[in-house]
Amino acid sequence: MSAGQDDFGLKADRLGMVYRRGAQETVALEDCNLAIRRGGWMSLIGASGCGKSTLLRIFADIVKPTHGEALLHGVSPAEARANRTFALVSQQSTMLPWRTIIDNVALGLEVARAPVSERRKAAQEAIDLVGLAGFERAYPSELSGGMRQRAAIARALTLRPQFLLMDEPFGALDEITREKLNFELLQILKETSATLLLVTHSISEAIILSDKVAVMTPRPGRISRIVDIDFGHERTAEMRDDPRFTAYESDLRHALHGTPDTRVLPSQRLSA
């Protein structure tokens, strides 16, 4: 593998996915291409049913593509799963109600048959990282939705993943909690250097959590445009007051609806 190829964390090459039920066929993805560099952050946005989650599930080795290739650091999703190099966080923070938070967080390592001492230590470190210290002995029913979602992220982090694959992880939360967790996730990404692929329906969330936002067409899904988000990795809530943020929102909204945006981004004015 060349050095240039090795720079890529996630790569999709001409991915296609056709779901078949009897004689009926649904083309979910067609000729879908993307590349995310190691440590990069990308969001997928698009209309419901456009194939965003299907693309994520291909990388997570949940479904196999009909054609094309998906790679994580140069290996197949099946190999990446076997090597435990990625973790998947979904919208539903599934917790076992009879287990305490620390036992829920340690579950992934328990399934992987890690030694008890190792999984307890890793679970505590992850709990501290997501801001749940003091709630180790609580049960899921005693926590808010946002806290349960933090616990789900902590459980993913115990595997020390090189990739975080996230499917609407904050979609069920209120706007205030959602934005707070967005910026907490940014801190986690900085500390872990994980490569992020996020599915979201929120344009603002995509901007906050991305170096690049990939816009997908209605089904069959393909990447119609990739917008670079030029905020670096040192981000705070004040970025929402930056004129570039509003310009990116407008640009992405027009891209989603297939209409040209004639506005000029502030960064383009500065470089003109």
What are 220-264's pLDDT values in tens digits?
899 999 999 999 999 999 999 999 999 999 999 999 987 655 555
pLDDT digit string (tens) for 153-193? Answer: 899 888 889 999 999 988 878 888 888 889 989 988 988 89
Helix (H, G, I), strand (E, B) or coil at 263: coil
Q: Which two tokens stand for residue 264?
A: 């000029």
Helix (H, G, I), strand (E, B) or coil at 66: coil
Total length of the chain: 272
**Neighbouring residues of 216: CB distance < 8 A, sequence distance ≥ 6:** 44, 45, 46, 47, 50, 51, 52, 55, 222, 223, 224
What's the whole-number mean pLDDT along residues 192-212? 95
Question: Is the pLDDT assigned to residue 106 strictly greater than 50?
Answer: yes
pLDDT digit string (tens) for 70-93? Answer: 999 999 999 999 988 999 998 776
On the CB side of 145, CA atoms within 13 Å amount to 13
- 39: DSSP letter: T
Residue 126 CA to residue 165 CA, distance in Å, equals 17
pLDDT score for 259: 65
On the CB side of 95, CA atoms within 13 Å amount to 29
pTM of the predicted protein model: 0.87
Helix (DSSP H) and strand (DSSP E) numbers for the chain: 11, 9
pLDDT score for 263: 53
pLDDT digit string (tens) for 63-72? Answer: 999 999 999 9
- Residue 272 pLDDT class (50, 70, 90 cuts): very low
pLDDT digit string (tens) for 3-39? Answer: 455 577 999 999 999 998 888 889 999 999 999 999 9
Question: Is the pLDDT assigned to residue 266 strictly greater than 60?
Answer: no
Residue 102 CA to residue 124 CA, distance in Å, equals 7
Question: Is the pLDDT assigned to residue 204 strictly greater than 60?
Answer: yes
pLDDT score for 49: 87
